[in-house]
DNA sequence: TAAGTAATTAAGTAAATACTTAAATAATGA
DNA sequence: TCATTATTTAAGTATTTACTTAATTACTTA
């Protein structure tokens, strides 16, 4: 996982929508796909990118794969962003 | 400016490096370009994307264009990210 | 006014990205 | 075992992106 993979993963609207959905709790790949117009395969590819960026966990249970948020990694992005806002505060 | 433009702007390594440079103070387009291997035109295009996302301000003074950070817009990203981390805290 | 400098815009290109459909893998249950 | 369901992987394609060089615009100063 790199900060670049992270920002790249977050740069797609559909992937951000997936993350938003997962805020309400774990979901299977299929459940996630139902919320989109694009194909299940397309969603699977987006999930793979999110998984590689470690923004989500994937756990297989039976024939389903459950996806959940990994809040830890969001903190990496938070740290990056905060650098810019803290400067603003110092100026005041 | 949209949250999408914002994340798209942040998804490029060179653009994030430009923002990092600007943390140390305002710089002209030329000064910025000196820190990169790519052409001045390439940097100008990156600056244009950052400007459209409102991540930077551009002010022309004489024949120079001075670029500076717009910390306000970083807060938009901050807000988006914090949604995910606040959930984490609630769980604890 | 003409030459030089700073920066952007235009036009073209190679690589990356987001999708598609079809095929493969894996688990379930009649 | 075989058909069904969930998901991923493969292969192909259209669009977007990040660059390049050349031309243009705007300003400065000799």
What residues of B are in contact with residue A16 (Cβ under 8 Å)? Answer: 7, 80
User: How many residue pairs from chains A and B have C-beta atoms closer than 8 A?
Assistant: 59
Is the separation of the CB atoms in A16 and B84 below 8 Å?
no
Annotation: CATH topology of B3-91 = Arc Repressor Mutant, subunit A (1.10.10)
**B85 CB-to-strand D distance under 7 Å:** no
**B37 CB-to-strand D distance under 7 Å:** yes
Whole-number mean pLDDT of chain B? 92
User: What does the pLDDT read at residue A92?
Assistant: 40
Closest CA of chain A from B46, distance in Å: 16
Q: Do B87 and A71 touch (CB under 8 A)?
A: yes
Residue B43 has pLDDT above 90, yes or no: yes
User: What does the pLDDT read at residue A1?
Assistant: 74
User: What does the pLDDT read at residue A86?
Assistant: 61
Task: End-to-end CA distance of chain A: give it in Å, rounded.
Answer: 35
Q: Do B78 and A85 touch (CB under 8 A)?
A: yes
For the stretch B52-91, pLDDT in tens is 999 999 999 999 999 999 999 999 999 999 998 765 444 4
User: What does the pLDDT read at residue B85?
Assistant: 77
In the sheet with B27-28, reading across from the earlier edge strand, the strands are B27-28, B64-69, B56-61
Q: What is the signed CA dihedral for B82, A58, B9, B16, rounded to 10 degrees?
A: 80
For the stretch A51-80, pLDDT in tens is 999 999 999 999 999 999 999 999 999 999
User: What does the pLDDT read at residue A88?
Assistant: 47
**A7 CB-to-strand D distance under 7 Å:** no
For the stretch A2-35, pLDDT in tens is 999 999 999 999 999 999 999 999 999 999 999 9
> Rounded CA gap, A68 and A12, in Å?
18
Structure tokens at B38: 């790519």
- Residue closest to A73 by CA, chosen among A45, A53, A91, A48: A53
């Amino acid at each position: 996982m790199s900060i670049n993979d992270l920002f790249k993963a977050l740069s797609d609207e559909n992937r951000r929508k997936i993350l938003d959905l997962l805020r309400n709790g774990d979901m299977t790949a299929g459940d996630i796909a139902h919320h989109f117009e694009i194909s299940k395969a397309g969603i699977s590819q987006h999930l793979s990118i999110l998984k590689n960026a470690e923004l989500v966990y994937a756990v297989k249970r039976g024939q389903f794969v459950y996806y959940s948020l990994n809040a830890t990694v969001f903190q990496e992005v938070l740290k990056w962003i905060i650098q810019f806002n803290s400067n603003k505060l110092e100026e005041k």
